[in-house]
């Protein structure tokens, strides 16, 4: 009984110590509750990455609006993050060849440039790169083209998830930049 009480007391002291020093699990920063929607501006209205983002946003309790034609009022603007996507870029790098000289394996590199603008903050520019290895077989062209499409969709879905998860850290960065910009203005005045 005494041993259990000591273990409990030790665990309690460790928990209080971790909490007191401000420890948080990595990635536990969340967007404020006031932000409820993400406005997605993309070069093409129904681009695959835009659709992937719109499909994944509800998982994070956010609503996605793709290239809306409506004008948002002041209250809606304070609840909206604006995500501007640039055209996606695919690159195929040669990794290996067969003895016959035909390509055996590629590395597919998917890159997306985007900017995020939080309410009352400056835009934050970012680049996200995701890569996968892809084995090519010249004897099975139809199956490999279908597999290539699946891999490209997987790259887009992973990029959408990573962009959404990065929003919380970018929000913290935008707040830090806004605070430093305000303090710089105050010092010059």
Span 78-103, pLDDT tens digits: 778 889 999 999 998 988 888 888 88
Taking a C-beta distance cutoff of 8 angstroms, is the pair 73, 37 a contact?
no
Tell me: pLDDT of 187 over 70: no
Tell me: pLDDT of 4 over 50: yes
pLDDT for 128 equals 94
Residue 157 confidence class, pLDDT cut points 50, 70, 90: very high
Tell me: pLDDT of 28 over 60: no
In angstroms, what CA-CA distances link 25 with 29, 36, 72?
8, 23, 35
pLDDT (average), residues 48-70 = 84
Instruction: Report the alpha-carbon angle 19-164-60, nearest 5.
Output: 70
Taking a C-beta distance cutoff of 8 angstroms, is the pair 90, 112 a contact?
no
The residues, ordered by sequence, that sit 6+ positions from 152 with a Cβ below 8 Å of its Cβ are 90, 108, 110
Query: What percentage of the chain carries pLDDT values higher than 90?
Result: 21
Tell me: pLDDT of 112 over 90: yes
Cα torsion 178, 181, 186, 188 to 10°: value is -170
- Residue 71 per-residue DSSP state: P
Tell me: pLDDT of 185 over 50: no
């Amino acid at each position: 009984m005494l041993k259990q009480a000591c273990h409990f007391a030790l665990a309690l002291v460790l928990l209080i110590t971790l909490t007191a020093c401000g420890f948080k699990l990595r990635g536990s920063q969340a967007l404020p509750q006031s932000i409820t929607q993400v406005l997605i501006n993309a070069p093409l209205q129904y681009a695959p990455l835009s659709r992937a983002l719109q499909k994944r946003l509800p998982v994070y309790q956010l609503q996605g609006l793709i290239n809306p034609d409506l004008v948002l009022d002041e209250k809606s603007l304070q609840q909206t993050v604006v995500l501007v996507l640039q055209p996606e870029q695919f690159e195929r790098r040669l990794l290996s060849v067969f003895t016959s000289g035909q390509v055996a394996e590629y590395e597919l590199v998917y890159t997306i440039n985007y900017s995020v603008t939080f309410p009352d903050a400056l835009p934050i520019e970012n680049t996200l790169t995701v890569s996968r290895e892809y084995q090519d077989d010249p004897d099975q062209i139809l199956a490999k083209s279908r597999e290539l499409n699946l891999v490209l969709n997987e790259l887009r879905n992973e990029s959408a998830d990573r962009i959404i998860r990065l929003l919380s850290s970018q929000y913290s960065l935008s707040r830090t930049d806004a605070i430093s910009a305000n303090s710089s203005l105050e010092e010059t005045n």
